[in-house]
Amino acid sequence: MTQRAAIVEPPPLDSATAGAATNAGGRRLSRGRSATSLTAASGLGLGVALLWFSLLVLIPLTAVLVQASEGGWSAYWDSLRSPQTFAALRLTVGQAILVTVVNIFMGTTIAWVLVRDHFPGKRVLEVIIDIPLALPTIVGGLVLLSLYGPSSPLGVNWANTPIAVFLAFLFVTLPFIVRTVQPVLLELEPEVEEAAASLGATQFTIFRRVILPSLAPAIASGAALSFCRAISEYGSLVLLSGNLPYSTEVASVRILSYIEGDKLTEAAAVASILLIVALIVIVILDVISRRVARYA
């Protein structure tokens, strides 16, 4: 990156290409800002973009929070504490935590195998990792039902049980940690591991002391995404979990039945929990990517 480019480029947004675009000059000289401040045309563009973004996303999501506060704090807490809603929230959060823990272990392992191991058919596995995210969620439910439902060739029938919720969450969150860890693992220098090995470190020690610390931010980002996706899941559960109150009913289904019963304030109260978790996850991801960019 030349000095000239550094003058006109605004500071980078995140870790993705921070290394390429950031140098001391970029940070210092961007104070001048002559070339990066808004012109009349780009200002108009920003206005139009913000208007659309507000109409589509910001105003509707604000409406959820406003609607949730309609009945005041006591009504808000009462709707969250109603036994059926509380059971749904507990099931959702519990299973989401469990699935995230499994993903931390399996996602890191899958990423490691995809990067460090070489065997025929590995390219196919690359595609298979992303299938759960690419499939429409309702099809995802149908897919799981075929192996774990009433006509399972395995002889199990986990449909309409809490295990179905766990499986659905596990399915839809499969790619997150794999895809955040994989690029970091690709960038790791094997020389460091070789040095550790030559100094007598065991394989487990190398993994724990050398590889794991570098992967930690990526695992954390993936875990945050995975948790967030799990608690907000709906489509894959419709056909699979039976949506039985106190047993397999998750938060999203609870919101939906409130909407169908025209209880919008109660629906918004539960929705506000999911929305707040989503906001927290967005902030966590932003902080992690900035921290990684700074130390990169």
- Residue in 4, 83, 200, 295 binding another protein, rule: CB under 8 A: 4
Answer yes or no whether residue 218 interacts with another protein by CB under 8 A.
no
Least Å distance, CB 246 to another protein, is 19
Residues binding another protein: what is the number (CB under 8 A)?
116
CA separation for the pair 256, 88 (Å, rounded): 12
Q: Which stretch binds another protein (CB under 8 A): 77-85, 93-101, 109-117, 241-249?
A: 109-117
Helices (H), the chain: 3-8, 18-21, 24-29, 40-53, 59-68, 72-81, 83-116, 122-134, 137-148, 162-172, 174-187, 190-198, 203-206, 212-231, 251-260, 264-295
- Residue in 72, 83, 120, 190 binding another protein, rule: CB under 8 A: 190
CA separation for the pair 175, 221 (Å, rounded): 12
Q: Which stretch binds another protein (CB under 8 A): 41-49, 93-101, 155-163, 212-220?
A: 41-49
Least Å distance, CB 49 to another protein, is 5
- Residue in 126, 156, 212, 294 binding another protein, rule: CB under 8 A: 126
Answer yes or no whether residue 220 interacts with another protein by CB under 8 A.
no
DSSP string of 6-58?
Answer: HHHSPPPSSSTTHHHH--HHHHHHTTT-TTTS--HHHHHHHHHHHHHHIIIII
Answer yes or no whether residue 216 interacts with another protein by CB under 8 A.
no
- Residue in 29, 87, 143, 292 binding another protein, rule: CB under 8 A: 143
